[in-house]
Amino acid sequence: MQALIKVLCSAACAGALLLAGAAHANYPDRPVKLIVPYAPGGITDNLARALAEGVSRELKQPIVVENKAGASAMIGTGMVANAPADGYTLLMASNGNMTVTPLVMKKLTYDPIKELRVIAIVGELPIVAVTNLQTPATDLRSFAAYAKANDGKLNFASLGQGNVLYLTARKIEGELGIRMTEVPYKGSAPSLTALMANDVQFYIDVLPGALPFIQSGKLKALAVPMSKRISWLPDVPTLEEAGYGAFHAASWLGWAVPAATPPDVVARLQGAIGRFAQDEKFRATFTKAGVLMLPAMTPAQVDEYLKADRERWGALIRQHNITID
């Protein structure tokens, strides 16, 4: 009797696996939803929509983009973390919502590292340190000298402590051995306006935000805290070239899914993203906008990239004892 039960159970399990496999083989058989946990209109949203359009052609199903901004991207990110793990709800991921937020927020109702899986990273937003025309500095050395001569009197614009821009500002402040006062703003646009008005004298921004003002001569780029110089600003040195500690500060962009999403569904998505992300027109469009388009990564390379990213920002967060209730 026990032998018969084992045979029947094995047959039932095999049947269930075959049915599941058949269901996944047809994936996707209906529209897919991409949650963007940021407001519409920015570079992240634009990239998300272009990816969605291109990948939808690969998958032969529509990908519907929904912006669910708010609470430092926790609203949209939490929606995907709690969504069915079937490949029909995707997340526009970055090191904002996948790296920094889980390290600084005390009261998250989900764990992005355990409940979500980053399946692709397509690009980085380089970060640049800028000052205004009123500040008599052309590089980090001269800015440090000016700041020390005006000890504690200079301000820097901040979007809040739970993001890579603030962390990079504190990193550079420490490297230069200076003190600046944080002035919070609600977004890059008001921060840049305040900088040009000399309400603040220093700002760390992603390249797409600051680049037009640098190119038009309204702001001065002091350094790029990246591992190497960037093509948009070939004459601007890295931190290491300026004589300070090497550091790679960038905000990466990619897609994530609920962690329990079946491997074959993940593979289907990764293949579709990988193929479209190499499209020359797509890459040229966002390169022009200031996105550093990355080469295709294997799943193992994505995991290694994320590990290094978490270690880098985690060390800074611990150094400055940053927590947000």
Record the pTM.
Answer: 0.89
Query: Which amino acid type is present at position 101?
Result: T
| Contact in structure between 135 and 146 (CB atoms under 8 Å) | yes
* Comma-separated ranges of CATH 3.40.190.150 domains in the chain: 30-123+250-319
Query: Which amino acid type is present at position 140?
Result: L
Q: What is the pLDDT of residue 169?
A: 96
Q: What is the pLDDT of residue 23?
A: 54
Q: What is the pLDDT of residue 2?
A: 56
Helix then strand then coil, % of the chain, to nearest 5? 45, 20, 35
| Contact in structure between 227 and 52 (CB atoms under 8 Å) | no
CA 253 remoteness from chain centre? 4
* Comma-separated ranges of CATH 3.40.190.10 domains in the chain: 126-223
Which has the closest alpha carbon to 42: 62, 65, 58, 59? Answer: 65
User: Which residue is listed with tokens 């696996």?
Assistant: 17
Mean pLDDT, each 10-residue run in order, the chain (325 residues): 51 47 78 96 95 97 96 92 97 95 88 94 97 97 96 94 92 95 94 98 97 97 96 96 93 97 97 96 96 95 96 93 87
Q: What is the pLDDT of residue 10?
A: 55
CATH architecture, domain defined by 30-123+250-319: 3-Layer(aba) Sandwich (3.40)
How would you label 203-239 residue by residue, b for 16+ Cβ within 10 Å and e otherwise? bbbbbbbbbebbeeeebbbbbbbbeebbebbeebbbb
Dist CA 256 CA 89 (whole Å): 9
Q: What is the pLDDT of residue 190?
A: 96
Dist CA 132 CA 308 (whole Å): 33
By three-state DSSP, how is residue 69 classified? coil
Query: What residues contact residue 28 under an 8 Å CB cut-off, 6+ apart?
Result: 59, 61, 87, 88, 268
CATH domain 126-223 topology: D-Maltodextrin-Binding Protein; domain 2 (3.40.190)
